[in-house]
Amino acid sequence: MTQIKREFLAIDDLDVAGATVLLRVDVNSPLNPETGSILDDTRMRRHLPTIGALNEARLVILAHQGRPGSKDYAPLEAHARHLSGLLGQHVGYVDGLIGPSVKRAVKALRPGEKLLLENTRFHAEEVAIKKEEAFNNTLLVKNLSALADLYVNDAFAASHRAQPSLVGFVERLPCAAGLLMEHELSNLFKAFEKTEGPSFAVLGGLKVDDSIRVMDHILSENIVSSVLSVGVVANIVLMAQGHQLGKPNISFLEKEVPGYQALVEETKGLLKKHGGKIEAPKDLALNVDGKREHIPVGDLPTEHPIFDIGIESIGYYTHIIEQAEKVILNGPAGVFEIPAFSDGTFEIFRAMARCKGYTVMGGGHTSAVAEKLRVEKRIDHISTGGGALINYLAGKRMPVIEMLKKSKRMYDEGAYEAT
């Protein structure tokens, strides 16, 4: 594959030593409802390399936690304490985003020191203002940009959102990608390169509407040569092909996939549009009183719930994945949490690890499964994004990526020299 030309500024493009840097991260974490303490610091740890790369700067960190009305909508004091422990260095905290106390705390920073400001979503402008052209003139952006020299965005998981703290600084400060953001974008740009050999997207899990949009985009743009459907996505494809699934499986769709009938009709259209490029399993694994039993799809409908793809399909999918030039995976092949029905998911992951082509994974539990199988180091890229990755794969607008590209153009044109 050819080398991708970087379309955004990175930390190594800028002189950060001694500069005051605004760093936007995504450390939105599960919290203990009683104590407010961090239950899982995975997202926080993913930003440590970027924080380390900015160690010579006066670092002002921006982040959010939860959303208005949610149980995990909380101040970031506990995050500052936890981050201090991870870094082995005190991280200051101010319970505000603008005002005299914030200004004093930022001005008092010395090179190497770090300060976490309050939850960005506590500020009304962050959630209430929707027009991006208005972000530049928000109090949040005007006040913080006046205190800073540079802005770094490392929040890939929020890159599909347009909010002042995420995209509002581009007119006022040079904006660069953090190391996590740079890693995500470089790998996803590479995943979207055209290939001459066979390339596949393996789409599964519960988010069928997202997967339908992804398969249409990546097939229309010739990003992959075929889509291999698994999980609930495969069930919808099978219905679009004319198969009846049986009562327990329809009941599941009614409960877990609202409006599934419309998705079946939409998938019928995709099958006509893309010919034989959307594949479904040839056999399925049923949960029969807790035991795994296989049936060919020709024997549908069934009185038992479908919990995985079948052994023939596993063999076929894994064989072609191993030979592929590129594989993009999003979502599991079945109810992998139950050992008897983990075969499809686990064997596809192992096949991706054996694949000599370029491999990308994303989706809810992907990283945890890859680590459990000890294949994470043999996958070229495991994305940290959920909704962000889906939006990217579906060709939807990505405001943060657009902002970073715009800042690169402005920087190259000298637009920041007078600021």
Q: What is the pLDDT of residues 30-87, one digit of tens each?
A: 888 888 888 888 889 999 999 999 999 999 999 999 999 888 999 999 999 999 999 9
Statement: 9-180+397-412 belongs to CATH 3.40.50.1260: yes
pTM of the model: 0.88
Q: Let me know: does 189 contact 3? Beta carbons within 8 Å.
A: no
Stretch 219-247: mean pLDDT, rounded?
96
Stretch 142-157: mean pLDDT, rounded?
97
DSSP state of 223: S
What pLDDT score was predicted for residue 8?
94
Question: With DSSP H G I counted as helix, E B as strand and the rest as coil, what are the percentages for the chain, rounded to 5?
Answer: 45, 15, 40
**pLDDT above 50 for 2:** no
Q: Let me know: does 2 contact 404? Beta carbons within 8 Å.
A: no
363 vs 386, which has greater pLDDT?
386
What pLDDT score was predicted for residue 30?
87
**pLDDT above 70 for 359:** yes
Mean pLDDT estimate for the chain = 94
Structure tokens at 242: 């004319």
pLDDT band at 1 (very low <50, low <70, confident <90, very high): very low
Q: Let me know: does 238 contact 300? Beta carbons within 8 Å.
A: yes
Could you tell me which of 358, 70, 122, 346 has the C-alpha nearest to residue 230? 346
State how far the alpha carbon of 290 is from the alpha carbons of 86, 299, 345, in Å. 43, 20, 18
Arch. (CATH architecture) of 192-384 = 3-Layer(aba) Sandwich (3.40)
Helices (H) and strands (E) in the chain, counts: 17, 16
**pLDDT above 80 for 4:** no
State how far the alpha carbon of 197 is from the alpha carbons of 1, 4, 232, 275, 403, in Å. 11, 19, 28, 19, 33
Return the domain boundaries, the chain: 9-180+397-412, 192-384
Domains 9-180+397-412 and 192-384 share a fold: yes
